[in-house]
Chain A
Amino acid sequence: MKIRIYLLLWLTVMMAFSCDSGRTVRKKLYKSLNTEISTFNFEGLEVVICPRNKDVVSAGLFVRGGTANYLQKLEGIEHLAMKTAVEGGSVLYSPLEYNQSLENLGATVAAQAGQDYSVISFRCPAENFTFAWALFAQAILNPSFDPDLFDRIKNEEIRKQINKTSSPGVTAFRTALEDFYARLHYALKPSGSPESLQALTVTQAREYYHALLGKARLVLVIAGPLDQEKVEEHLGQTLSDLPPGYWKPSDTIPVPVLESGFVSMEANEGEEEVIGIFSAPLAGSREALAFELAMLALNEHLDPEGTGRTVAGYLPWREGCGYLRIKSNNLAGQTGKIVQELNLVLEEGFSEREIEEAQALLHTAKALQAETSAGTVEMLGRATLEGDWRNFAILWKEIPTLKKKTVDAEFRQWIRGIKWYAFASAGTIDPEILKLRLK
């Protein structure tokens, strides 16, 4: 009798687990994306938790400010300082001991500076979270800033920047962006230039890092098989000692639609290109999502075969921009054709089909990024810094609600002020052909 009861009990449990109900799963998923993400304040540090049922923990320590945190002469300092801090061990562990211990725990750490924020990212198997996190926290709180290591990392970064600038097309786009954002902090390169990096010293980096790392300026996002209680427990043991820091959010200024214009630039042989840049709505808004869809639809419209010769895109910075890049053996002719197409879209708007396509493709692109815990952390962190982490949770519902009218309106509003850059011999592009038929 007892055996029967045990077996019955066991079978019931197994059936309950293996029951394959898609509807239930779907409901749960929406629930998980909407309500299970939670946020709390840990002694002045904003924390966002995204529970996931995979055995991996990813975290991102987001530092607000980005390139607005420093002046041109210190270009690249945030990237270099954070990289040295996370790779260089701590006052207790040598770089070798630290990196080997992380490796033995299956943990990886990295630092990357950006235009709006920088992020120190961390990933490890869930089973090793306690030890790996303690090691990581210890290093970011008390980094060694070993001068030799700093020099090695600095030289590596300089080499990378030199390689980057020698890639065709990179310099032209950078030059155009620098001009477009002249006098704004977006003109600065987060990874620095070979010259600016060369001038940086380990003392500067150390001082900069310690001034930067305060709770007020940071947002911590964690994704993994964790709940708030567990995260709080870990933070209490590790990050309590972070200084309070200081952060004053800048006022939200509506991005203006710029006057259109034309600049002729020198080009290397074989790298002739026409680049058009125009303002975009403030990131994190519904308008920005509509604008992103418009740029995706425009890209499909202008280059249906996906040749990559004409690219329309969006730089999703807080005060981001839309851009057009045109390359062709017949640069003037092709540019003329593209402008005609822009005029057509301005008049008629995108087709319903183009909008639907863009919506579906954007959904896939975002979902592919959210598949991993590291991707989720990145998206959630960005949404938090842009104003509200819920923007991440509602993203999948929001995309299909953006109708043609909204997308067309965003496109028409911002495309009016294109600043064109012709990287070609003087006279190749007649500015007249670039004029849009604006109502």
Chain B
Amino acid sequence: MMKSYLALFLTIIIFFPGIQAQPLAEEDYLPDDNDLPLNYAHYLLPNGLELLTIRDSSAPLLTLHAVVRGFETYETEQNDGAAWLISRLVTQANEEFFIAEMVRDEARQSGIWYNSWLNGGNLHIHLSFPPRFIHPALQWLSSVVNGPVFDVDELKKELKEVAADLQQAEEDPEYFLRKDLEKDVWGSKIYGKSLWPDYETVSRLTSEDLKQYRKANLRPDRTLIIAGGWLNSPEVKDAVDQYFSGWESPKDKSYLESEALPPVGRVLLRNELAHEPVFLAGWIGPGVAEEPRTVRQAQLFTYMSSLPGSPLHERFIQTGLATSATLEFYPGRNESLLLFRVKAEEQRAVECLKLADMEVERLKEGEYCNDSLMKVAVSRLRWQELFSREKLSGYVAELADWWAWSGRFARLSFGNEIGFLTGGDLRNFSRKYLDPFDVSSGMLCTSQVAKDLPNTSFVALVEPKDKPKEKELAVVPVEKKPSFAEEAKKLSNYQIHFELNSFVPDKDSRESLSFIAQFLNQFPQQKVYLDGHADTQGDAGYNMVLSKKRSEAVRQYLVENFRVSPDQLQVRGFGETQPAFVEDSDENRAKNRRVEVVPFKTEGGKP
């Protein structure tokens, strides 16, 4: 009897795994080989090279996609730009096919369409071809990764194209703004490298620099090859073994073992040419390697916030203030970029840019996390994933990037995982990452508009188009963030006042409360006293209790409405013992019914 129950139980577990469904733990966001779909197979070769095969019968096509993780992140000031240039030259001449035409001809002979690029610090080499050419394609790929020669003539030719590309990019004023913004966001984490390649930096590099960089960093133990399409997994595995077994890694530590993982290098942003006013704000977000669950939250939150019906959409698009208002997410290994971007309507630029600046503070609020919007966003993201997976030759690039950032096939379970996220998760995410006091932001507008924007952190002024280009962009120096001492000094100007016999702050005190909250959020280590006072009307004992209640009410207000940490606030009541004014009028009595904010003497220190 017992055995029958057990058998029934096992059957249910085996055939209805959904019954066991529980919210996912952090590690579940990094699936291992057991979680791979049945048409996927994962192999590890003796030289450290990983291979993922995906059987797909949609079309008689094979795709090979090689990704080298963190390829760009090992650049130093001396070889800055090397990874970027290699990504453009790697499919040119190599030791096996020693002129570029031969590489190209070999590829064409086998119907290979190929491309190479850098994304999020990773180097990608992509090939699509008819399935019968699997061997020539692997041989071609092996020659490309094993021995690019970086011929000087090709280098010069490529540099000319680089110059043309960069010149084109630089014609867009938004390019400079984004460059500045990214520098500000990534700033100290890039070890002095330039974030975006410029011609001068790249043109300093020699063939030898590139060869050395390639030798050290284009290595099997940091590489994954994905083979997808019409294939037989064991056959492909044997073929990969045959062509890549001679590819050796240098003896130094592999990427996964290295002690300090450099952050992702360059984040490529969409470069929509715009002479219209633009507002940009950027935050550092979670990294795929360390916080896979939070990355899902970031994806969902950013997607949700731009949907019709979201507060962002309602405030900017429905009102006709902006042509676009989006919160974008650019994932990376150790951290990501969260980018808030508003493109204003020219006629209402001032109004729109001001509102965008204010929106930076609102993004942290929970108003974005409403359940119905979340439901819509989850469905749409799941469907997008379906459509994206349909085109395997494109999907492998995403799969490869996520592997490179996390070491696992973290992209695969995306559709299911986002369904497990809750509104609470998203609120925690926005509170943690979209801090209005830890943001880099900027605006791009004409000088005419800039005149009416006194409170912005910095403004890039673009003069009318008919002036020479090199004089078009004049960046006003970034206004320094106010120091603690200056801000603390201002606190004494902001008091909270009350009606007679009341401990509810009056309406006029909202500005004070807002400033105090801003101060406390800006300096989260700083603690303050909330000193409550009463006027002399009524019993002294009663006034003592009332003043304490006033302090407590202010404390509660700051915690609940501005998410100030309660640890920063210490309440005290002084009753009528410390009047600020002689009570010879109702006005002065009202001034004495107050709560004052007194910072502890040193920043973050003891009282």
Contact = CB atoms under 8 A, between A and B. Distances in A.
B232 A23 contact: yes
B14 A300 contact: no
B129 A360 contact: yes
A interface, over-half SS? helix
A2 B3 CA distance: 8
Nearest to B231: A22
B420 interface: no
B108 A368 contact: no
Interface in A1-46: 1-3, 6-7, 10, 17-18, 20-23, 25-26, 28-29, 32-33
Interface string B2-39: 01101100110011000000000000000000000010
Interface in A352-384: 353, 356-357, 359-365, 367-368, 370-373, 376
A283 interface: no
Interface stretch (B52-60, B145-153, B541-549): B52-60
A360 B133 contact: yes
B352 interface: no
B143 interface: no
B interface, over-half SS? helix
B515 interface: no
Interface string A374-412: 001000000000000000000010000000000000000
Nearest to A4: B7
Contacts, number: 127
A207 interface: no
Nearest to B233: A20
Contact of B390 (A1, A25, A54): A54
A353 B113 CA distance: 17
B168 to A, nearest CB: 15
A364 B61 contact: yes
Contacts of A336: none
A125 B382 CA distance: 9
B55 A25 contact: yes
A2 B235 contact: no
A367 B59 contact: yes
Given A20-B234, A300-B108, A353-B109, A29 B38 contact: no
Contacts of A56: 386-387, 390
A305 B109 CA distance: 14
A32 B57 contact: yes
A195 interface: no
Between B7, B112, B376, B390, the greatest number of chain A beta carbons within 10 A of the residue's beta carbon is seen for: B390
Contacts of A356: 109
A104 interface: yes
A360 B110 contact: yes
B41 interface: yes
Contacts of B101: 304-305
Contact of B108 (A7, A106, A357): A357
B379 interface: yes
Given A6-B7, A18-B38, A357-B108, A368 B128 contact: yes
A22 B234 CA distance: 9
A305 B231 CA distance: 31
Contacts of B60: 29, 33, 363, 367, 370, 396
Interface in B241-274: none
A100 B309 CA distance: 11
Interface string B55-72: 101111100000000000
Nearest to B37: A18
Contact of A106 (B131, B231, B383, B392): B383
B390 A2 contact: no
A106 B232 contact: no
Nearest to A362: B111
A241 B6 CA distance: 56
B130 interface: yes
Given A29-B230, A125-B386, A52 B61 contact: no
A97 interface: no
B128 A364 contact: yes
Given A10-B14, A305-B101, A371-B392, A364 B231 contact: no
A3 B383 contact: no
Contacts of A300: 108
B387 to A, nearest CB: 6
B10 A368 contact: no
Interface in A254-298: none
A163 interface: no
A196 to B, nearest CB: 29
Interface string B511-530: 00000000000000000000
Contacts of A10: 14-15
A321 B143 CA distance: 40
Given A54-B390, A103-B380, A364-B112, A25 B61 contact: no
A123 interface: yes
Interface in B114-156: 128-131, 133
A364 B129 contact: yes
Contacts of B386: 54-56, 106, 125
A23 B231 CA distance: 9
Contacts of B55: 20, 25
Interface string B384-395: 101101111100
A26 B10 CA distance: 36
Nearest to A397: B60
A356 B41 CA distance: 32
A56 B111 CA distance: 28
Contacts of B57: 25, 28-29, 32, 53
A373 B390 contact: yes
B392 A363 contact: no
Contacts of B379: 104, 106
Contacts of B133: 360
Contacts of B59: 367-368, 370-371, 376
A198 to B, nearest CB: 25
Interface in B383-438: 383-384, 386-387, 389-393
B350 to A, nearest CB: 27
Interface string B40-52: 0100000000000
B11 A372 contact: no
B235 to A, nearest CB: 6
A361 B390 contact: no
Between A104, A361, A367, A372, the greatest number of chain B beta carbons within 10 A of the residue's beta carbon is seen for: A367
B58 A370 contact: yes
A361 B108 contact: yes
A397 to B, nearest CB: 10
Contacts of A18: 38
A54 B387 CA distance: 9
A6 B113 CA distance: 48
Interface string B281-315: 00000000000000000000000000010000000
A305 B154 CA distance: 13
B11 A21 contact: no
8 shortest A-B CB distances, which residue pairs?
A22-B232, A360-B111, A106-B383, A367-B61, A370-B59, A2-B7, A364-B111, A367-B59
Given A370-B61, A371-B59, A396-B60, 12 more contacts: A3-B6, A20-B233, A21-B232, A25-B57, A25-B232, A26-B230, A54-B390, A103-B380, A304-B104, A305-B104, A367-B60, A371-B58
Interface of B: 3-4, 6-7, 10-11, 14-15, 38, 41, 55, 57-61, 101, 104-105, 108-113, 128-131, 133, 230-235, 308, 376, 379-380, 382-384, 386-387, 389-393
23 contacts: A22-B231, A22-B232, A28-B57, A29-B230, A53-B57, A54-B389, A54-B390, A103-B380, A106-B384, A125-B382, A125-B383, A353-B109, A356-B109, A360-B133, A364-B111, A365-B113, A368-B128, A370-B60, A370-B61, A371-B58, A371-B61, A372-B390, A376-B59
